[in-house]
Amino acid sequence: MAEQIPPLEYPDAERIPAALAGPSSSLEGLRILVTGLGVSGFPAAVHLAERGAAVTVVDGDAERDETERERILSVFDVDIRRGPEHVAGLPPLAGDAAFDLVVTSPGWRPDSPVLAGARAAGIPVIGEVELAWRVRGTNDARWLVVTGTNGKTTTTTMLASMLTAAGLRARACGNIGDPLLEAVLDPELEVLAIELSSFQLHWELSMGAHAAVVLNLADDHLDWHGGADAYRADKGRAYHGVHRACVYNVDDPATRALVEQAEVVAGARAVGFTLGTPGPGEFGLVEDLLVDRAFIPARYSAAAEIADLADVGAAVGTDAPGPHHIADALAAAALARSVGVEPSAVREGLRQHAPGAHRSAVVAEAAGVTWVDDSKATNPHAAAAALAARDSVVWIAGGLLKGADVSALVAEAAARLRGVVLIGEDRGALRAALAQHAPDVPVREVDLAADVSAGLSAQRRGAPVMEAAVAAAGELAGFGDAVLLAPAAASMDQFLSYATRGDLFTEAAQAWAAAHGAAETDRARPAAETDAP
Domains annotated for the chain, with CATH where assigned, are: 28-123 (3.40.50.720), 136-352 (3.40.1190.10), 361-530 (3.90.190.20)
227 belongs to an annotated ligand binding site? no
CA-nearest of 174, 178, 180 to 196 is 174
CA distance 533 to 524: 16
pLDDT of residue 7: 67
What 3-state class would DSSP assign to 350?
Answer: helix
272 - beta bridge partners? 248, 282
pLDDT of residue 227: 67
pLDDT of residue 533: 24
pLDDT of residue 529: 30
- Between helix 343-352 and helix 309-316 the angle, nearest 10°, is 40
60 belongs to an annotated ligand binding site? no
* Residue pair 392/482 in contact by the 8 Å Cβ criterion: yes
**CB neighbourhood size of 89 (10 A):** 14
Left if phi > 0, otherwise alpha if psi is -120 to 50, otherwise beta: which for 83?
left
370 belongs to an annotated ligand binding site? no
Q: How many residues does the chain have?
A: 533
pLDDT of residue 360: 76
pLDDT of residue 200: 92
CA contacts within 13 A on the Cβ side of 460: 8
The amino acid at residue 6 is P
pLDDT of residue 364: 87
What 3-state class would DSSP assign to 143?
Answer: strand
pLDDT of residue 385: 82
290 CB-near residues (< 8 Å, 6+ apart): 283, 284, 305, 306, 307, 308, 309, 311, 312, 326, 329, 330, 333
pLDDT of residue 368: 86
155 CB-near residues (< 8 Å, 6+ apart): 146, 148, 195, 213, 215, 328, 329, 331, 332
pLDDT of residue 520: 34
Radius of gyration of the chain (CA): 24
pLDDT of residue 213: 98
68 CB-near residues (< 8 Å, 6+ apart): none
Residue 358 φ then ψ, to 5°? 65, 30
Identify the burial level of 463 via C-beta atoms within 10 angstroms of its C-beta, where 0-12 means exposed, 13-18 middle and 19 or more buried: buried
Give the containing element (helix H, strand E) for 223: helix 222-225
151 belongs to an annotated ligand binding site? yes
153 belongs to an annotated ligand binding site? yes
Beta strands 304-308 and 289-292, pairing class: antiparallel
Query: Which parts of the chain sit beneath pLDDT 50?
Result: 1-2, 518-533
152 belongs to an annotated ligand binding site? yes
pLDDT of residue 521: 32
pLDDT of residue 8: 74
Beta strands 361-366 and 369-373, pairing class: antiparallel
What 3-state class would DSSP assign to 271?
Answer: strand
322 belongs to an annotated ligand binding site? no
Range 8-45 burial, b when 16+ CB lie within 10 A, else e: bebebeeebbebbeebeeebeebbbbbbbbbebbbbbb
The distance of Cα 309 from the centroid of its chain, to the nearest Å, equals 24
Output the pTM of the full model. 0.75
